Amino acid sequence: MPELPEVEVVRQSLNKKIKQKKVEKVIVRNRNLRFKIPFNFERILKKQKIIGVDRFSKYLILCLSNKSYCLIHLGMSGTIHLVQNNKDNNLTNTSFYSSPKLPEKHNHVEIFFSKFKMIYNDPRRFGFIEIINNFELLKKRFSHFGPEPLELSFNLNYILSYFKSKNKNIKNFLLDQKFVSGIGNIYASEILFLSKIKPTKKAKSLTKRDCKKIRFFSKKVLLDAIKKGGSSIRDFKNILGKSGNFQKNFRVYEREGLKCKKMNCKGIIKKIIISNRSSFFCNSCQK
DNA sequence: AAGAGGCCCTGATAGC
DNA sequence: TGCTATCAGGGCCTCT
Protein backbone atom coordinates (compact mmCIF):
# COMPACT_ATOMS: atom_id res chain seq x y z
CA MET A 1 0.00 0.00 0.00
CA PRO A 2 2.01 2.84 1.26
CA GLU A 3 4.54 5.15 -0.28
CA LEU A 4 5.08 8.63 1.06
CA PRO A 5 1.75 10.07 -0.23
CA GLU A 6 -0.36 7.29 1.27
CA VAL A 7 1.45 7.53 4.60
CA GLU A 8 0.96 11.29 4.58
CA VAL A 9 -2.77 10.89 3.92
CA VAL A 10 -3.00 8.48 6.85
CA ARG A 11 -0.98 10.88 8.99
CA GLN A 12 -3.29 13.79 8.29
CA SER A 13 -6.49 11.93 9.06
CA LEU A 14 -5.01 10.12 12.06
CA ASN A 15 -3.62 13.33 13.53
CA LYS A 16 -7.07 14.94 13.49
CA LYS A 17 -8.50 12.04 15.45
CA ILE A 18 -5.88 11.20 18.07
CA LYS A 19 -4.07 14.49 18.73
CA GLN A 20 -4.35 15.40 22.43
CA LYS A 21 -6.06 12.08 23.16
CA LYS A 22 -4.84 9.90 25.99
CA VAL A 23 -3.95 6.24 25.53
CA GLU A 24 -6.06 4.22 27.98
CA LYS A 25 -4.97 0.71 27.11
CA VAL A 26 -2.76 -1.15 24.64
CA ILE A 27 -3.25 -4.69 23.41
CA VAL A 28 -0.69 -6.52 21.29
CA ARG A 29 -2.20 -9.63 19.72
CA ASN A 30 0.85 -10.58 17.67
CA ARG A 31 4.33 -9.23 18.38
CA ASN A 32 5.87 -10.88 15.34
CA LEU A 33 5.82 -8.22 12.71
CA ARG A 34 8.82 -7.71 10.43
CA PHE A 35 10.66 -7.11 13.67
CA LYS A 36 9.39 -7.99 17.11
CA ILE A 37 7.33 -5.29 18.72
CA PRO A 38 9.53 -4.07 21.62
CA PHE A 39 8.76 -5.59 25.01
CA ASN A 40 8.18 -2.16 26.57
CA PHE A 41 5.79 -0.97 23.85
CA GLU A 42 2.61 -1.21 25.93
CA ARG A 43 4.21 0.32 29.01
CA ILE A 44 5.68 3.28 27.10
CA LEU A 45 2.36 4.14 25.45
CA LYS A 46 -0.02 3.62 28.32
CA LYS A 47 -1.44 6.77 29.93
CA GLN A 48 0.44 8.98 27.48
CA LYS A 49 -1.14 11.78 25.57
CA ILE A 50 -0.58 11.89 21.80
CA ILE A 51 1.07 15.25 21.18
CA GLY A 52 0.72 14.82 17.43
CA VAL A 53 1.29 12.53 14.49
CA ASP A 54 4.31 13.29 12.32
CA ARG A 55 5.81 11.52 9.38
CA PHE A 56 9.20 11.01 7.83
CA SER A 57 9.47 9.16 4.55
CA LYS A 58 7.12 6.18 4.84
CA TYR A 59 7.19 6.19 8.65
CA LEU A 60 4.42 7.46 10.89
CA ILE A 61 5.68 9.03 14.11
CA LEU A 62 3.40 9.19 17.13
CA CYS A 63 4.80 11.89 19.40
CA LEU A 64 4.05 11.05 23.03
CA SER A 65 3.78 13.32 26.06
CA ASN A 66 6.67 11.49 27.77
CA LYS A 67 8.97 12.77 24.96
CA SER A 68 9.33 9.37 23.37
CA TYR A 69 8.21 8.39 19.91
CA CYS A 70 6.35 5.46 18.43
CA LEU A 71 7.40 4.72 14.85
CA ILE A 72 5.00 2.80 12.64
CA HIS A 73 5.94 1.44 9.24
CA LEU A 74 3.09 -0.07 7.23
CA GLY A 75 5.27 -2.33 5.09
CA MET A 76 3.42 -3.55 2.01
CA SER A 77 0.03 -4.37 3.46
CA GLY A 78 -0.32 -2.47 6.74
CA THR A 79 -3.38 -0.34 7.43
CA ILE A 80 -4.61 1.70 10.34
CA HIS A 81 -8.24 2.16 11.13
CA LEU A 82 -10.35 3.46 13.96
CA VAL A 83 -13.26 1.63 15.52
CA GLN A 84 -15.66 2.74 18.23
CA ASN A 85 -14.97 1.06 21.54
CA ASN A 86 -18.51 0.06 22.26
CA LYS A 87 -19.82 -1.98 19.37
CA ASP A 88 -23.33 -2.00 20.84
CA ASN A 89 -23.48 1.74 20.60
CA ASN A 90 -26.11 2.48 18.00
CA LEU A 91 -24.89 5.99 17.37
CA THR A 92 -23.46 5.52 13.92
CA ASN A 93 -20.49 7.75 13.56
CA THR A 94 -19.73 7.62 9.86
CA SER A 95 -16.34 9.19 10.26
CA PHE A 96 -15.07 5.97 11.77
CA TYR A 97 -13.69 3.42 9.41
CA SER A 98 -14.57 -0.18 9.77
CA SER A 99 -14.24 -2.45 6.80
CA PRO A 100 -15.88 -5.87 6.95
CA LYS A 101 -13.28 -7.01 4.43
CA LEU A 102 -10.39 -6.69 6.88
CA PRO A 103 -9.97 -10.03 8.65
CA GLU A 104 -9.61 -9.42 12.35
CA LYS A 105 -6.95 -12.07 12.62
CA HIS A 106 -4.47 -9.56 11.23
CA ASN A 107 -5.37 -6.92 13.80
CA HIS A 108 -1.99 -7.13 15.51
CA VAL A 109 -2.15 -4.07 17.73
CA GLU A 110 -4.98 -2.12 19.34
CA ILE A 111 -4.45 1.23 21.01
CA PHE A 112 -7.47 2.29 23.05
CA PHE A 113 -8.55 5.87 23.59
CA SER A 114 -11.58 6.79 25.64
CA LYS A 115 -14.16 6.56 22.85
CA PHE A 116 -12.44 4.57 20.11
CA LYS A 117 -9.49 2.35 19.39
CA MET A 118 -6.82 2.55 16.74
CA ILE A 119 -6.09 -0.77 15.06
CA TYR A 120 -2.93 -1.78 13.23
CA ASN A 121 -3.76 -4.48 10.68
CA ASP A 122 -1.12 -6.10 8.48
CA PRO A 123 -1.68 -9.45 6.70
CA ARG A 124 1.85 -9.80 5.36
CA ARG A 125 3.53 -8.49 8.51
CA PHE A 126 6.17 -6.62 6.51
CA GLY A 127 5.45 -3.58 8.63
CA PHE A 128 6.97 -2.88 12.04
CA ILE A 129 6.72 -0.74 15.13
CA GLU A 130 9.59 0.86 17.06
CA ILE A 131 9.94 2.90 20.22
CA ILE A 132 12.43 5.77 20.16
CA ASN A 133 13.25 7.21 23.57
CA ASN A 134 14.06 10.82 22.77
CA PHE A 135 14.46 13.40 20.05
CA GLU A 136 18.21 12.89 19.66
CA LEU A 137 17.69 9.21 18.96
CA LEU A 138 14.88 10.04 16.56
CA LYS A 139 17.22 12.26 14.56
CA LYS A 140 19.82 9.51 14.62
CA ARG A 141 17.27 6.95 13.47
CA PHE A 142 16.77 8.79 10.20
CA SER A 143 20.28 10.19 9.81
CA HIS A 144 21.27 7.72 7.10
CA PHE A 145 18.14 8.46 5.06
CA GLY A 146 18.31 10.70 2.02
CA PRO A 147 16.12 13.81 1.81
CA GLU A 148 12.49 13.61 0.79
CA PRO A 149 11.73 15.01 -2.68
CA LEU A 150 9.70 17.69 -0.89
CA GLU A 151 12.79 19.05 0.90
CA LEU A 152 14.99 21.83 -0.43
CA SER A 153 18.08 19.69 0.12
CA PHE A 154 16.85 17.41 -2.68
CA ASN A 155 18.30 19.81 -5.20
CA LEU A 156 20.21 19.68 -8.47
CA ASN A 157 23.67 19.77 -6.89
CA TYR A 158 22.80 16.95 -4.52
CA ILE A 159 21.51 14.75 -7.32
CA LEU A 160 24.37 15.49 -9.69
CA SER A 161 27.05 14.80 -7.13
CA TYR A 162 25.29 11.66 -5.89
CA PHE A 163 25.03 10.20 -9.40
CA LYS A 164 28.63 10.94 -10.32
CA SER A 165 30.32 7.70 -11.40
CA LYS A 166 27.40 5.61 -10.10
CA ASN A 167 26.81 2.61 -12.28
CA LYS A 168 23.39 1.70 -10.90
CA ASN A 169 20.25 2.28 -12.96
CA ILE A 170 18.06 5.25 -12.17
CA LYS A 171 15.01 3.17 -11.22
CA ASN A 172 16.93 1.52 -8.39
CA PHE A 173 18.17 4.89 -7.20
CA LEU A 174 14.64 6.24 -6.88
CA LEU A 175 13.84 3.23 -4.68
CA ASP A 176 17.07 3.65 -2.67
CA GLN A 177 16.07 5.39 0.56
CA LYS A 178 19.69 6.41 1.19
CA PHE A 179 19.50 8.58 -1.92
CA VAL A 180 15.92 9.83 -1.64
CA SER A 181 13.26 9.01 0.96
CA GLY A 182 9.65 8.14 0.40
CA ILE A 183 9.47 6.98 -3.21
CA GLY A 184 8.29 3.42 -3.83
CA ASN A 185 7.69 1.19 -6.81
CA ILE A 186 4.61 2.92 -8.21
CA TYR A 187 5.79 6.49 -8.07
CA ALA A 188 9.29 5.59 -9.32
CA SER A 189 7.80 4.47 -12.63
CA GLU A 190 5.54 7.53 -12.80
CA ILE A 191 8.41 9.94 -12.09
CA LEU A 192 10.60 8.40 -14.79
CA PHE A 193 7.79 8.53 -17.32
CA LEU A 194 7.23 12.23 -16.74
CA SER A 195 11.00 12.80 -16.84
CA LYS A 196 11.18 10.89 -20.17
CA ILE A 197 13.97 8.68 -18.86
CA LYS A 198 14.20 4.91 -19.31
CA PRO A 199 14.29 3.09 -15.95
CA THR A 200 17.36 1.10 -17.01
CA LYS A 201 19.47 4.18 -17.68
CA LYS A 202 22.66 4.34 -15.59
CA ALA A 203 22.73 7.20 -13.13
CA LYS A 204 26.19 8.39 -14.23
CA SER A 205 24.96 8.87 -17.80
CA LEU A 206 22.17 11.27 -16.84
CA THR A 207 22.54 14.85 -18.00
CA LYS A 208 22.02 17.96 -15.89
CA ARG A 209 18.70 18.39 -17.70
CA ASP A 210 17.67 14.84 -16.76
CA CYS A 211 18.50 15.48 -13.11
CA LYS A 212 16.50 18.69 -13.12
CA LYS A 213 13.48 16.79 -14.40
CA ILE A 214 13.93 14.07 -11.80
CA ARG A 215 14.01 16.68 -9.06
CA PHE A 216 10.96 18.49 -10.41
CA PHE A 217 8.75 15.48 -11.13
CA SER A 218 9.63 13.60 -7.95
CA LYS A 219 8.19 16.47 -5.97
CA LYS A 220 5.27 17.05 -8.30
CA VAL A 221 4.14 13.42 -8.43
CA LEU A 222 4.20 13.04 -4.64
CA LEU A 223 2.39 16.34 -4.02
CA ASP A 224 -0.25 15.56 -6.65
CA ALA A 225 -0.79 12.13 -5.12
CA ILE A 226 -1.20 13.59 -1.63
CA LYS A 227 -3.71 16.08 -2.99
CA LYS A 228 -5.75 13.24 -4.51
CA GLY A 229 -5.78 11.29 -1.24
CA GLY A 230 -3.12 8.78 -2.32
CA SER A 231 -3.45 5.83 -4.67
CA SER A 232 -6.03 3.16 -3.90
CA ILE A 233 -4.77 0.01 -5.52
CA ARG A 234 -6.02 -3.09 -3.78
CA ASP A 235 -7.96 -1.35 -1.04
CA PHE A 236 -5.91 1.46 0.38
CA LYS A 237 -8.10 3.81 2.35
CA ASN A 238 -7.34 6.56 4.76
CA ILE A 239 -8.36 5.88 8.32
CA LEU A 240 -11.77 7.37 7.69
CA GLY A 241 -12.40 4.76 5.01
CA LYS A 242 -12.05 7.15 2.10
CA SER A 243 -10.30 5.85 -1.02
CA GLY A 244 -7.63 7.83 -2.80
CA ASN A 245 -7.94 8.86 -6.41
CA PHE A 246 -4.42 9.08 -7.75
CA GLN A 247 -4.54 5.63 -9.36
CA LYS A 248 -6.70 7.23 -12.06
CA ASN A 249 -3.69 9.39 -12.86
CA PHE A 250 -1.26 6.51 -13.38
CA ARG A 251 0.43 7.02 -16.72
CA VAL A 252 2.45 3.81 -16.81
CA TYR A 253 2.00 1.77 -13.64
CA GLU A 254 0.01 -1.43 -14.36
CA ARG A 255 -0.68 -0.24 -17.91
CA GLU A 256 1.39 -2.86 -19.73
CA GLY A 257 0.44 -3.17 -23.39
CA LEU A 258 -1.67 -0.01 -23.38
CA LYS A 259 -1.08 3.14 -25.42
CA CYS A 260 1.20 5.83 -24.06
CA LYS A 261 -0.81 8.73 -22.64
CA LYS A 262 1.56 11.40 -23.92
CA MET A 263 0.02 13.51 -26.64
CA ASN A 264 1.06 12.37 -30.13
CA CYS A 265 3.19 9.52 -28.79
CA LYS A 266 2.65 6.22 -30.61
CA GLY A 267 4.44 4.24 -27.92
CA ILE A 268 3.21 1.21 -25.98
CA ILE A 269 3.76 0.75 -22.24
CA LYS A 270 6.20 -2.06 -21.49
CA LYS A 271 6.79 -3.95 -18.27
CA ILE A 272 10.26 -5.14 -17.32
CA ILE A 273 11.67 -6.58 -14.11
CA ILE A 274 14.47 -4.62 -12.45
CA SER A 275 15.89 -6.08 -9.24
CA ASN A 276 12.89 -8.36 -8.88
CA ARG A 277 10.37 -5.53 -9.08
CA SER A 278 8.22 -4.56 -12.03
CA SER A 279 8.94 -1.34 -13.86
CA PHE A 280 6.66 0.25 -16.42
CA PHE A 281 7.76 2.63 -19.16
CA CYS A 282 6.88 3.86 -22.64
CA ASN A 283 9.05 2.22 -25.30
CA SER A 284 8.93 5.34 -27.43
CA CYS A 285 9.12 8.55 -25.42
CA GLN A 286 11.40 7.45 -22.57
CA LYS A 287 15.04 7.51 -23.65
C1' DA B 1 32.40 -0.35 -1.71
C1' DA B 2 28.92 -0.68 -4.79
C1' DG B 3 25.55 -3.42 -6.61
C1' DA B 4 22.81 -7.70 -7.30
C1' DG B 5 19.87 -11.00 -5.28
C1' DG B 6 17.47 -13.47 -1.64
C1' DC B 7 14.31 -13.37 1.86
C1' DC B 8 10.69 -12.16 5.37
C1' DC B 9 4.87 -13.24 4.99
C1' DT B 10 -0.11 -13.85 3.49
C1' DG B 11 -3.59 -13.46 0.06
C1' DA B 12 -5.47 -12.84 -4.58
C1' DT B 13 -5.55 -14.47 -9.00
C1' DA B 14 -4.30 -17.25 -13.09
C1' DG B 15 -3.53 -21.56 -15.26
C1' DC B 16 -3.89 -26.41 -15.44
C1' DT C 1 -13.07 -28.10 -7.27
C1' DG C 2 -8.56 -27.92 -6.07
C1' DC C 3 -3.92 -27.96 -6.78
C1' DT C 4 0.43 -25.04 -7.88
C1' DA C 5 2.78 -21.00 -9.44
C1' DT C 6 3.20 -16.19 -9.67
C1' DC C 7 2.81 -11.75 -8.09
C1' DA C 8 1.96 -7.69 -4.80
C1' DG C 9 2.77 -0.81 -2.77
C1' DG C 10 9.28 -2.45 1.36
C1' DG C 11 13.59 -2.90 3.24
C1' DC C 12 17.23 -5.51 5.45
C1' DC C 13 20.94 -8.74 5.04
C1' DT C 14 24.54 -11.31 2.64
C1' DC C 15 27.52 -12.32 -0.97
C1' DT C 16 30.60 -11.06 -4.64
3-state secondary structure of A252: coil
Residues 6+ apart with CB under 8 A from A130: A35, A38, A70, A71, A141
Residue-level pLDDT at A231: 86
Residue A73 (CA) to nucleotide B3 (C1'), in angstroms, measures: 26
Measured in degrees and rounded to the nearest 5, phi and psi for residue A64 equal -105, 155
Nearest to A231 by CA among A193, A195, A183: A183
DSSP state of A90: -
d(CA A214, C1' C2) / Å:
48
Domains of chain A: residue spans and CATH? 4-141 (3.20.190.10), 156-235+248-282 (1.10.8.50)
* Phi–psi pair at A189, nearest 5 degrees: -65, -40
A142 in Cβ contact with A71 (< 8 Å): no
Distance A5 CA to C13 C1' (A): 27
Taking the alpha carbons of A80, A84, A87, A92 in that order, is the dihedral positive or negative? negative
Q: Which sequence positions of A are flagged as catalytic?
A: 2-3, 58, 277
Tell me the pTM. 0.94
A57 CB below 7 A from strand C atoms: yes
pLDDT at position A181, please?
A: 96
pLDDT at A85: 82
Distance measured from the CA of protein residue A241 to the C1' of nucleotide C1, in angstroms: 35
- pLDDT recorded at residue A109: 97
Digitized pLDDT (tens) for each residue of chain A, 287 residues in all: 699 999 999 999 999 999 999 999 999 999 999 999 999 999 999 999 999 999 999 999 999 999 999 999 999 999 999 988 865 544 444 444 445 456 688 999 999 999 999 999 999 999 999 999 999 999 999 999 999 999 999 999 999 999 999 999 999 999 999 999 999 999 999 999 999 999 999 999 999 999 999 999 999 999 999 999 988 776 666 777 778 888 889 999 999 999 999 999 999 999 999 999 999 999 999 99
pLDDT reported for residue A122: 92
pLDDT of amino acid A102? 63
DSSP string, A128-160: EEEEE-SHHHHHHHTTTSPPPTTSTTSSHHHHH
A169 touches strand C (CB under 7 A): no
Alpha carbon A62 to its chain centroid, in Å, reads 15
A2 touches strand C (CB under 7 A): yes
Cβ contact A210 with chain C strand, < 7 A: no
Nucleotide nearest to A247 in CA–C1' terms: C9
